[in-house]
Chains A and B, each alone.
Chain A
C-alpha cells in the first residue's frame, strides 16, 4: 500500500511560498474595517454608527459619551455643525438620509452627562495657557482638559458666563444654561479681566509650557506672524492658534491644535505622527436591501423629542459589510472578517517555534472561491489559505494527519484502482472519458452507463481513464505530489494518443485545464450535442439545482446543466446563492477531512436554501447532501436513468472503484482481473461499520490487522471475552476488537492512533 512520509520536527525555514507583500495586498481588499460613510465624512471622526445605535436603543447617556469624545461642548457643536455625514448617508440614495445633526442635538439636550475623570484623574505635568475669547479658545480648552493638561484660560471677560456668551452668542437660553454648567464642571482655571497685551503674552510664555491664543489676538499682537494651517501654529512665535469663524472650523481647528500642543509638550516635531486628520474616503460596501424606513421622522417642535430622536436613530442601517460572512459557513464559523483571518493565517505560516494555532482554520476553508464572488472587492480567501497550505508544506510544518486519508485515497485511485484503456478496436482514441474519483466511488453504475453510451455514440474511439485528477493534493497544498500526478496523467494520456478529455466532473475539468495543451470538454456539453440517452428520466417533483464550486465562473457549464435539466423535463426551483455565488457542499478544499464540523455547517448552509430535492453536477455534492438525508441526485444519474442509491461508506467507496474497474475489464476488454479474495468469512456488527466510517478506518485496515493476528497469534483477551489485535499500517496503528466465528471473524469495534507505542526497558 502507498505511504506518505510523516513530517519530522525539524522545520525548513528558507523555503517560502507566500510573500508578506502579496498577503498584505490581498488583505487590504477587505473593507470590513473601513469606517461607515457618515464617520468617514466627519472631520472630527464621530463614531456615528455606534452613536446612532446607542441613541436608537434609548441609551442617550452612552450616545452622549460617544459624542463628547469629539465635542467637549455638545450643544455648541450640534448647533453649528454642518453635518457632512448627512450628505454621505447611504439612505439618502434611496430615501431620506439620516438626520444625524438633529439626533445629536436631542442627545446633547436629553443625555445625562457622565462623570468624566473625577478626582482620581492624573494630570499631566506640562501646563498650557489659552489666551483670548471665542469659539476656538473655548473648544481648545475643552479638548486639552480631556487630555488632562493643567490649563489656564486668560480672557478679558469678567466671568465664565460672559466668556461663554462672547464665544457662543448663538446658543438659546436653555442650551446656554446647560453649556455653562458643563464649562463650570470642567477642570479649567480662569484668569478673568486680563489685559491681553504683548507684556501679558511674554509673561504667560514664561510661566506656561505651551502657549495658545485666538487667531485674532495673535494677529493683532504679531501682525507679521505666519500661521501653518495644517498644524494650527505660528511657528516662529511658538503660539498654537486656530480659526474662530464657524463652529465646524473652530472645532476641527481645536482638534488639530490640541494634537500640536501634545507634540510640543513632549518636545517633539508637531509635523510627525499625526495620523489621518479630517474627513476620509470610505470603501465600505453596504447592502441597502435591509433598509426599511426611508422617510425622515418629522419633528413635532423646534427639535426632536427624545422619542422622535430614538425613532430617527432607529432608521440607521448601521452600514457594515458582511457579504462574505453571510454567504460562507466557514467565515461565519470563525466569526472573523477575512481581512483579519487572512492576516492571522499568514502569521501562522511564519511561526518558527510555538503552536500553529491557525492550522485548523487554514485547513477548514473549502477553497471554493465563493467569497471572491460575493465580496464587492473580490477578496480571495481561497488564495490566502491555499498559499498558506503550500507554504506550510514547503517549510515542512504541515501536519499530515488532516489530509492523509484523502491523499491515500488519491494514491489508491491512481494506483490500485487506476485504469487507462483505449476503446477496444482502437490503438489511439479521439476522446477519453474521465469521470472523476468521486463518481467512481459513489455512482459506478452511472459511470459505466455513460462510458458505454459515449463509446456507442461518438466516433473516433473513446478511451477510459479511471483515476484522480490531482485536485486532492492541490487542495492539500502538496505541490510536489501535484506535479507528480500531473506528469503521471500526462504520460497516460499520451499513451492513449492525447485524446480530448471528456470530464464528468467540473472540478476535474478545472484541474485538468491547467495541463498544457490538453483539450477538455464537459460530458454535459456532449450530451447536449448528442441528445439525451434512451433511459433518461426526470425527477418526479420540483428540485433545486446546486451549482458546483468547480464550475464557478464557468457560465457555459452552468447553462449547459440547466439546459440538460430542461430537456430532461425537470422543474427547477430558484434558490438564493446560485451559479457563481453557490456555496461549497463541504467536500471542497478537503474540509470534510480536515474539519468535519465546518464541513457539516457548509452542507447545512447549502441545504437551507431549499426544502426540495437537490440536483447537482458534482458527485461529492450529491453524496454530502444524501448523507444529510436529503433526496439528492446527480444530473448524470437522471440522464442515464440510474440511481446510485444510499451514500456508500468510506470502504464501500474504495470497493466501488475497484469493482467497477474489474467489471469493465471483464466486460469491455475481456480481461480477467486479479482480484483479492478473503479465504475466510469476515462479519461485522452494525456498530463496528458505523464506527469505522466515523473513525476513517477502512475494511482493508481491519483485514491487515486480522491477517497479522492469523500469522502471529498476537492479541489480548478482554474480560468481555473478545480479542483485540493490532497492526501498524502506514502512519497509524489500528486496533480491532473481534470474536471468532467458525473459520472467520466478527468485528465488534475498531480504533486507531498515530503515535507509535513500544515497550520500554528499565
Chain B
C-alpha cells in the first residue's frame, strides 16, 4: 500500500462550523493546486458540503511562500 504524503495539516479542533450546514468542520483531505503542481493537505472541511477553509495565517505564510517558489520555477 502506497503511503500518502501530506504536506500540511490543520485541525479545526472544533472551533469552526459550517454556516450553511450547521455542523462543525473536521480535519479533512484537501488539495492545493498551482501552476500544474498539486499538494495533498489536511484542512478544516465541512463533512456535509465539502467547504474547505484556508485560514489567514496559512494563506499568508506557507501558501504564499510555496506560491513564490513555484512561480520562479
Check: A318 CB closer than 8 A to any chain B CB.
Answer: no
Chain B residue contacts of A6, Cβ below 8 A:
35
Q: Determine the chain B residues whose CB is within 8 A of the CB of A723 once the complex forms.
A: 19
Known: A713-B19, A716-B18, A717-B16. A756 touches B32 (CB 8 A): yes
Q: Is A118 an interface residue (CB 8 A)?
A: no
Query: Which of A229-237, A307-315, A355-363 forms contacts with chain B?
Result: A355-363
State whether the Cβ of B5 lies closer than 8 Å to any Cβ in chain A. Answer: no
Known: A355-B72, A399-B71, A716-B17. Is A760-B56 also a contact (CB below 8 A)?
no
- Segment at the B interface, from A433-441, A509-517, A747-755: A747-755
Most buried by B among A712, A717, A723: A717
- Residues of A with C-beta under 8 A to B18: 715-717
Say whether B29 contacts A759, CB under 8 Å. yes
Q: CA separation between A7 and B37, bound complex, in Å?
A: 12
A762 is an interface residue with CB less than 8 A from chain B = yes
Q: Which residues of B contact A714 (CB under 8 A)?
A: 19-20, 49, 51
Interface residues on chain B, size class: 35 or more
Are B20 and A715 neighbours in the complex by a CB distance under 8 Å? Answer: yes
Q: Are B25 and A357 in contact (CB under 8 A)?
A: no
Complex Cα gap A761–B52 (Å) = 13
Give the docked Cα–Cα distance between A716 and B50 (Å): 11
Q: How far is the CB of A721 from chain B (nearest CB, A)?
A: 11
A451 contacts partner chain B, Cβ-Cβ < 8 Å: no
A759 touches B59 (CB 8 A): no
Q: How far is the CA of A360 from the CA of B72 in the complex (A)?
A: 9
- Residues of A contacting B67 with CB < 8 Å? 401, 753-755
The verdict on A761 contacting B29 (CB below 8 Å), with A9-B37, A751-B60, A754-B34 known, is yes
Q: Is B33 an interface residue (CB 8 A)?
A: yes
Identify A356's interface contact among B16, B34, B73, CB under 8 A.
B73
Are A757 and B36 in contact (CB-based, < 8 A)?
A: no
The CA-CA distance from A737 to B59 in the complex, in Å, is 14
Contact B43 A757 (CB under 8 A): yes
> Are B56's CB and A716's CB within 8 A?
no
Q: Are B35 and A7 in contact (CB under 8 A)?
A: yes
A-B contact count (CB 8 A): 104
Task: Check if B49 sits within 8 Å of A716, measured CB to CB.
Answer: no
Which residues of the partner chain B approach A753 to less than 8 Å between Cβ atoms? 54, 59, 63-64, 67
Q: What does the 1/0 interface line of A396-413 toward B look like (CB < 8 Å)? A: 000101000000000000
Q: Mark A156-198, 1 if CB is under 8 A from B, else 0.
A: 0000000000000000000000000000000000000000000
Does A8 lie at the interface of the complex (its beta carbon under 8 Å from any beta carbon of B)? yes
Contact A724 B53 (CB under 8 A): yes
- Chain B residues with CB under 8 A of A749: 56
CA distance A399 to B28 in the complex (A): 31
Q: Are B44 and A716 in contact (CB under 8 A)?
A: yes
Q: Tell me whether A9 and B59 are in contact in the complex, defined as CB-CB below 8 angstroms, given that A716-B25, A759-B29 are known contacts.
A: no
- A17 to chain B: closest CB distance in Å? 19
Q: Which residues of B contact A719 (CB under 8 A)?
A: 15-16
A637–B68 Cα distance when bound, in Å, is: 40
**A758 engages B33 (CB within 8 Å):** yes
A55-91: CB near B (< 8 Å → 1, else 0) gives: 0000000000000000000000000000000000000
A610 interface contact, C-beta 8 A: no
Q: How far is the CB of B26 from chain A (nearest CB, A)?
A: 12
Question: Quick check: B63 and A760 within 8 Å, CB to CB?
Answer: no
Contact in complex: A718, B16 (CB < 8 Å):
yes
**B52/A759 in contact, CB under 8 A:** yes
Are B15 and A718 closer than 8 Å at their CB atoms?
yes
* Contact between chains at A759 and B63 (CB < 8 Å): no
Contact A716 B16 (CB under 8 A): yes
Nearest to B35 among chain A residues (CB) is A9
CA A258 to CA B61, docked complex, whole Å: 60
Asked if residues A716 and B19 are in contact (CB atoms below 8 Å), the reply is: yes
Segment 358-396 of A: residues with Cβ below 8 Å from B: 359-360
* A359-B46 Cα distance, complex, nearest whole Å: 39
B73 — nearest CB in chain A belongs to which residue? Answer: A355
Are B19 and A8 interface neighbours, CB within 8 A? no
Provide the residues of chain A in CB contact with B35, threshold 8 Å: 6-9
A357-B72, A751-B56 in contact; A757/B31 too (CB < 8 A)?
yes
Please report the C-alpha to C-alpha distance between residue A757 and residue B30 in the assembled complex, in whole angstroms: 7
Tell me which residues across on chain A come within 8 A of B29, comparing CB atoms.
759-762
Q: Which of A716, A754, A762 has the most CB of B within 10 A?
A: A716
Of residues 1 through 57 on chain A, the ones whose CB sits less than 8 Å from some CB of chain B are 6-10
Q: Report A-chain residues with C-beta under 8 Å of the C-beta of B73.
A: 9, 354-356
List residues of chain A with CB within 8 A of the CB of B63. Answer: 753, 755
Which residues between 586 and 627 of chain A lie within 8 Å of chain B, taking CB atoms? none
Distance (whole angstroms) from the CB of B68 to the closest CB of chain A: 8
Beyond the given A713-B20, A753-B59, A755-B33, could you list 5 further A-B residue pairs with CB under 8 A, ordered by the A residue number?
A: A8-B35, A717-B17, A735-B56, A753-B63, A757-B52
A-B contact pairs, 29 of them (CB 8 A): A10-B36, A355-B69, A357-B72, A359-B71, A359-B72, A399-B71, A399-B72, A401-B67, A401-B68, A716-B16, A716-B18, A716-B44, A716-B53, A717-B17, A717-B19, A718-B16, A723-B19, A751-B60, A752-B59, A753-B59, A753-B63, A753-B64, A753-B67, A755-B34, A755-B66, A758-B33, A759-B28, A759-B30, A762-B29
Q: Which 7 interchain pairs have the tightest Cβ spacing?
A: A399-B71, A9-B36, A719-B15, A760-B29, A715-B19, A755-B34, A753-B59
